[in-house]
A and B are shown apart, each in its own frame.
Chain A
Amino acid sequence: MADKEKTFEESMARLEEIVRILEKNEKPLDETIALFEEGLKLVRTCDARLKSFETKIEEITAADHEEE
């Protein structure tokens, strides 16, 4: 499930691509609307990803690995 989702990097790249395509204004209207919707969705997910965070700090001691 998770690997079906785009990574943040891919989302940003796709978003940029969509903006570029739309600014060229060469696509048919249907496609433009579809791209716009996709773009808005990406804006929302990227934004949400950055705004709903909490810094997680985990400590792994390399010296402990013999205990396993």
Chain B
Amino acid sequence: MSQRAVSVSALVHYVKQKLEGDPLIQRVLVEGEISNFSNYRSGHWYFSLKDGAAQIRCVMFASANSRVKFLPKDGDKVLVQADLNVYEARGEMQLIVTAMQAAGLGELYRQYEELKKKLETEGLFAPEHKKPLPPYPFSIGLITGKNTAARSDVLTTLQRRWPVAAITEYPVLVQGTESAGQIVQALKKADESGHDVLLLVRGGGSIEDLWSFNDETLARTIYALNTPLITGVGHETDFTIADFAADLRAPTPTGAAERCAPDIRDVLSRIDQFHVRLRGAVSARMSAERRHIDAIRRYSWFADPQRLVRDPQLRLNDLAIRLDDEIRAVRQMQDGRLRQLMGNLQKALRERMRDTENTLHENRQAVLYALNLRLTRENDRLQKNIHLLDAYSPLKVIARGYSIVLKNGTAVRRADMVQKGDEVELLLGRGKAAAVITDTDMEAEHG
């Protein structure tokens, strides 16, 4: 044997570690028959659980067995919830029993576990589905039994901690065959009433008492609620299906009331703190501003506050003066420009008039000159013509013995212009004479 030996304590310790670390045999449910039951003065119960083939030592401490509704005796078939424990000093393993029910309930537990697994798989207990709870509920729907301890626990707790809420009660049967149905109806009704939060509570009881909270329809109703729901059913160790489906599971009715609302004193003191911080922040700011103003006041014209008034006034006056100057300058500029324009215009007019006059004058001179010229020339011609006229005047010829023969007023210059028998008129040197043509000869020569 080359193997190394281990000490007994090391071995037992190893076994203890191994067994107690195994989650399968912690919080395990075991069904069996009680034997060697002894109820010590300390209140702890010691007994064995056995079935046809094996047995195991059990201890149930007073703190746990005080909740068991019956006193077990040898031969009782029970269902226990227990943690496996190894007692090193004696090298024995035993069950530390935390809860015990009569064994007929084994079937209920199986149903419970099955339903729990089924709904869990469907996601009815999923944390992401849980609705957030309102921090300050002013309207609370309370679903619980009429005149129960749970009801008064909740109301007392709320009255003490958060008396500002309006509480609407939905009384239901919290055990018995009708209970689950009533709770479902009440939840639906409460959900429609628009409360901030709902409380579903019931005091402690046996597993049968609490059974209506393990109802599938109830679980689905809870899942479908729009209003956040807090449950507080039974004692700390009781977990119902309703608890799993709820948005928050409180261990007890009082716990549910505590979790559902803040303590009004806390909220009031929080408001006070806000008030103090608000004033603090603003007064700090105000004194900082005041220091700032003081600093500024020490500078420049704040030392002479009159300047505050005077300066703008001066500036205004200055502006007014400058505006006046400006207007005058503009006006002067306009005046000068106008005058200049008028001058130009008058000058232009005068020049134009003078030009016109000159032209007129020149034209007149030219006309007069031309007229004179023409007159002189005409006069000369007249004089010449008068001479010619005088020289060539037929009257002068006639006066020398010539006469002019007129036929019908026309001078007869050729013999063929008259015929025999034509009456003609003779213009003589003095007076006229009438004659008749007796003969005509075109060939006759003048002597």
Residues of A near any B CB (own CB < 8 A):
8-9, 12, 15-16, 18-19, 22-23, 25, 29, 32-33, 36, 39-40, 42-43, 46-47, 49-51, 53-63, 65
Q: Name A62's contact: one of B135, B158, B186, B285 (CB within 8 Å).
A: B186
Which residues of chain B (346-360) have a CB below 8 Å from chain A?
none
B56 interfacial contact with A, CB 8 Å: no
| Chain B residues in 8 Å Cβ range of A57 | 155, 166-169
Distance in Å: Cβ of B198 to nearest Cβ of chain A: 12
Is A65 in contact with B185, judged by CB distance below 8 angstroms?
yes
Is B134 in contact with A9, judged by CB distance below 8 angstroms?
yes
| Chain B residues in 8 Å Cβ range of A12 | 135-136, 267, 270-271
Closest to A51 in B: B268
Is A19 in contact with B274, judged by CB distance below 8 angstroms?
yes
Closest to B284 in A: A25
| Chain A residues in 8 Å Cβ range of B285 | 22, 25, 29, 32
Closest to A46 in B: B271
Q: Name B271's contact: one of A22, A43, A55 (CB within 8 Å).
A: A43
| Chain B residues in 8 Å Cβ range of A56 | 166-167
Secondary structure at the A interface, as helix, strand, loop or mixed, is helix
Is A8 in contact with B138, judged by CB distance below 8 angstroms?
yes
| Chain B residues in 8 Å Cβ range of A51 | 268
Is B167 in contact with A62, judged by CB distance below 8 angstroms?
no
Complex-state Cα separation, A36 to B268, whole angstroms: 19
Distance in Å: Cβ of A60 to nearest Cβ of chain B: 5
- Knowing A50-B264, A63-B182 are in contact, say whether A19-B170 is a contact too (CB < 8 A): no
Is A58 in contact with B168, judged by CB distance below 8 angstroms?
yes
- Knowing A60-B168, A60-B169, A60-B170 are in contact, say whether A36-B271 is a contact too (CB < 8 A): no
B159 interfacial contact with A, CB 8 Å: yes
| Chain A residues in 8 Å Cβ range of B168 | 57-60
> 7 more A-B contacts (CB under 8 A) besides A9-B136, A36-B278?
A12-B267, A53-B163, A55-B159, A59-B170, A60-B168, A60-B189, A62-B182
| Chain B residues in 8 Å Cβ range of A19 | 274, 277-278, 281
Secondary structure at the B interface, as helix, strand, loop or mixed, is helix
Interface size range on B against A: 35 or more
| Chain A residues in 8 Å Cβ range of B167 | 55-58
- Knowing A55-B163, A58-B166 are in contact, say whether A40-B278 is a contact too (CB < 8 A): yes
B394 interfacial contact with A, CB 8 Å: no
Distance in Å: Cβ of A33 to nearest Cβ of chain B: 8
Complex-state Cα separation, A63 to B171, whole angstroms: 9
B282 interfacial contact with A, CB 8 Å: yes
Distance in Å: Cβ of B263 to nearest Cβ of chain A: 11
Q: Name A50's contact: one of B267, B281, B282 (CB within 8 Å).
A: B267
Closest to B182 in A: A62
Is A47 in contact with B278, judged by CB distance below 8 angstroms?
no
Complex-state Cα separation, A33 to B284, whole angstroms: 12
Closest to A53 in B: B164
Residue interface bits B91-107, CB-to-A below 8 A is 1, else 0: 00000000000000000
Instruction: List 28 A-B pairs, Cβ < 8 Å.
Output: A12-B270, A15-B278, A19-B281, A22-B285, A23-B281, A25-B281, A25-B284, A25-B288, A32-B282, A36-B278, A36-B281, A36-B282, A43-B271, A50-B268, A55-B159, A55-B166, A55-B167, A56-B166, A57-B167, A58-B168, A59-B169, A60-B169, A60-B190, A60-B193, A61-B170, A62-B172, A62-B186, A65-B189
- Knowing A50-B264, A56-B166, A62-B172 are in contact, say whether A15-B189 is a contact too (CB < 8 A): no
Complex-state Cα separation, A50 to B274, whole angstroms: 15
Closest to B155 in A: A57
Distance in Å: Cβ of A17 to nearest Cβ of chain B: 10
Distance in Å: Cβ of B320 to nearest Cβ of chain A: 34
Is B164 in contact with A23, judged by CB distance below 8 angstroms?
no
Closest to A39 in B: B278
B289 interfacial contact with A, CB 8 Å: yes
Distance in Å: Cβ of A36 to nearest Cβ of chain B: 5
| Chain A residues in 8 Å Cβ range of B193 | 60
Complex-state Cα separation, A25 to B155, whole angstroms: 44
Which residues of chain B (242-290) have a CB below 8 Å from chain A?
264, 267-268, 270-271, 274-275, 277-278, 281-282, 284-285, 288-289
